[in-house]
Amino acid sequence: MKYDVIVVGGGPAGILAAIGAKRDNVNVLLIEKNKKLGKKILISGGGRCNFSNISNVDKIISNIPGNGKFLYSIFNQFSNFDLINFFEEELGIRAKVEDYGRVFPDSDDARTIVEALKKYLMNIGVQIMYESTVKEVLTEKNKIIGVQLNDNRIIEAKAVVLAVGGISYPGTGSTGDGYIIAEKLGHKINDLFPSSVPLNSDEKIIREKLLQGISLRDVELSLYDLKGKRIITEVGDMIFTHFGISGPVVFRISRYVSLTQRKLGNVPLKVVIDLFPSKNDQQLFNIIAELINENPNKIIANGLNRLLPEKLIKVILQKLNINQKKMKELHKKDINKLTYILKNFSIQVTGTRSLSEAIVTGGGVNIKEVNPKTLESKLVEGLYFAGELLDIDGYTGGYNIQAAFSSGYVAGKSVGFYSLKQ
């Protein structure tokens, strides 16, 4: 049998591509290598799936630093609000909005999304082939004719959407197959790098696990190179781990660690943490002075614990060589030193965790070779791309899955229309 459209990959991009293509009532085959769809959706957002963000398009794009602008036309055709409405009206999934505009299903369970999407695919007549891995997309005279599976079976089709994801968290099925397939078809693959990933540090305080488990809210992180040039500053939450630092704001600066080290070699970089970005030095000085007045006889680590976790205060006092025991023994120069370090707590990072541990794979299929309105390849007729396989990477906050869903839907609509004309 010859299909109108084959979609390769049953993640958010592939699922929405199959749905988009089916709008033209063409016959669609979705091929997924796993036993089930959406394995990455299931682990996303801590199992709750932060599937979108309610910001406007400009803000969404500014949160996709890796080629977000390429998605303008895509989001105009299928926006975050279109996705939220589709979920609510056609899948029966109500959305709830949390901090930073992040959108989750109100069930707080990613399975709700995968199950509803699977049911929807079956209702609209998309055929799904599980446990089948595509190894090659076949062409004749630079035009799609089908795909070949790992077991060498060939399935014919007029057009193909490649939506096989990146190479991060390979246990979910995204093992980088798409880069090999696309490269074979003549597409350039831009260098892959870990994006939204924790950072390693071999500082003594990390090696000795003095701060492990301490989480900080709304801190400001600035990344500097060794010459002291500031690369990026971001605000958000973070946590100290046994190997370094992690959490949303660390993820935001991590792609710049990847990119800087790509440029400068694997040199260590400096992260400066402003623990109180909403207070200036004077305000912070006054707060500490007030705490001293209120609790003159308290041990310093206890006296300041309204400001910060005790473990962190102890590390700071050690760094500053402040050996006084009681709050009242802190002098003006100590308070100044404390104020300074609270706004400039620095930690050296050696690099990122590996690509397989990254939330997103940076790099990928070069977007210059893809039509930004239809997502059709400019090199091979009838070949379309969607999702993380493209050289697009966003911050955490719902931007990546939204980009996958939107690009999937648009690629699907375009491929459906294309296949009708063949």
Ligand X SMILES: Cc1cc2nc3c(=O)[nH]c(=O)nc-3n(C[C@H](O)[C@H](O)[C@H](O)COP(=O)(O)OP(=O)(O)OC[C@H]3O[C@@H](n4cnc5c(N)ncnc54)[C@H](O)[C@@H]3O)c2cc1C
| Shortest Å, Cβ 420 to ligand X | 24
Question: Applying CB under 6 A, which of residues 4, 24, 32, 334 lies at the interface with ligand X?
Answer: 32
Sequence-distant (6+) residues with CB within 8 A of 369 are 187, 188, 377, 378, 379
**169: contact with ligand X by CB under 6 A:** yes
Q: Which of 5, 7, 10 is nearest to 118 (CA)?
A: 10
Q: Establish if 24 lies at the interface with ligand X (CB under 6 A).
A: no
Sign of CA dihedral 273, 278, 280, 285: negative
Q: Rounded to 5 degrees, what angle do the CA atoms 190, 192, 196 make?
A: 130
Asked if 146 is part of the footprint of ligand X (rule: CB under 6 A), the reply reads no
Q: Which long-range contacts (CB under 8 A, 24 or more apart) does 116-119 make?
A: 116/87, 116/91, 116/92, 117/15, 117/19, 117/37, 117/38, 117/91, 118/37, 118/38
Task: Please give the Cα distance from 376 to 381 (Å, whole number).
Answer: 8
Q: Which residue has the tokens 């303008």?
A: 72
Q: Which of 44, 201 has the CB closer to ligand X?
A: 44
Which is closer to ligand X, CB of 4 or CB of 388?
388
Using CA atoms, how far residue 286 sits from 290, 330, 336, in Å, is: 6, 13, 10
Q: Does 399 bind ligand X (CB under 6 A)?
A: yes
Q: Which residues in 108-141 are b (16+ Cβ under 10 Å) and which e?
A: eebebbbebbbebbeeeebebeeebbbebbebee
Q: What is the nearest approach in angstroms of ligand X to the Cβ of residue 394?
A: 7
Beta pairing, strands 230-240 & 127-129: unpaired
For the bound state, the minimum distance from the C-beta of residue 75 to ligand X, rounded and expressed in Å, comes to 14
* For ligand X, the closer CB: 211 or 411: 411
Site string for ligand X, 104-143 (x = CB under 6 A): -----------------------------xx---------
Quick one: which of 343, 347, 349 has its CA closest to 308?
Answer: 343
Nearer Cβ to ligand X (162/316): 162
Task: State yes or no: residue 20 binds ligand X (CB under 6 A).
Answer: no
The beta strand positions in 114-214, using DSSP E, are 127-129, 134-140, 143-149, 154-162, 189-195, 199-200
Residue 45 binds ligand X (CB under 6 A): yes
Assess 412 for contact with ligand X (CB under 6 A): no
| Secondary structure letter of residue 99 according to DSSP | G
Q: Which is nearer to ligand X, 191 or 357 (CB)?
A: 357
The answer to whether 236 contacts ligand X (rule: CB under 6 A) is no
By CB under 6 A, residue 248 contacts ligand X: no
Question: For ligand X, which residue of 273, 392, 401, 411 counts as binding (CB under 6 A)?
Answer: 401
How far, in Å, CA of 87 to CA of 114, rounded?
11
Binding segment for ligand X (CB under 6 A), chosen from 41-49, 260-268, 344-352, 370-378, is 41-49
**Considering just the CA atoms, what is the radius of gyration of the chain in Å?**
25
Q: In this chain, which stretch among 114-122, 270-278, 333-341, 396-404 interacts with ligand X, using CB under 6 A?
A: 396-404
Size of the site for ligand X (CB under 6 A): 38
Q: Of 63, 139, 174, 261, which lies in the binding site for ligand X, with binding defined by CB under 6 A?
A: 174
Q: Is residue 237 within 8 Å of 216, Cβ to Cβ?
A: yes
Residue 163 as a binder of ligand X (CB under 6 A): the answer is yes
By the rule CB under 6 A, 177 interacts with ligand X = yes
Nearer to ligand X, 56 or 133 (CB): 133
Beta bridge partners of 7: 30, 161
Single residue of 4, 18, 26, 40 touching ligand X by CB under 6 A:
40
Q: Is 360 in the site for ligand X (CB under 6 A)?
A: yes
Q: How far is the CB of 114 from ligand X (least distance, A)?
A: 10
If one asks whether residue 148 binds ligand X (CB under 6 A), the answer comes out as no
List, in sequence order, every beta strand (DSSP E) within 206-335. 215-224, 230-240, 244-246, 269-274
Which of 12, 105, 236, 303 is close enough to bind ligand X by CB under 6 A? 12
337 binds ligand X (CB under 6 A): no
Binding of ligand X at residue 255 (CB under 6 A)?
no
**Where does this chain bind ligand X (CB under 6 A)?**
8-14, 31-34, 39-40, 43-45, 49-50, 133-134, 163-165, 168-169, 172-174, 177, 359-360, 387-388, 398-401, 404
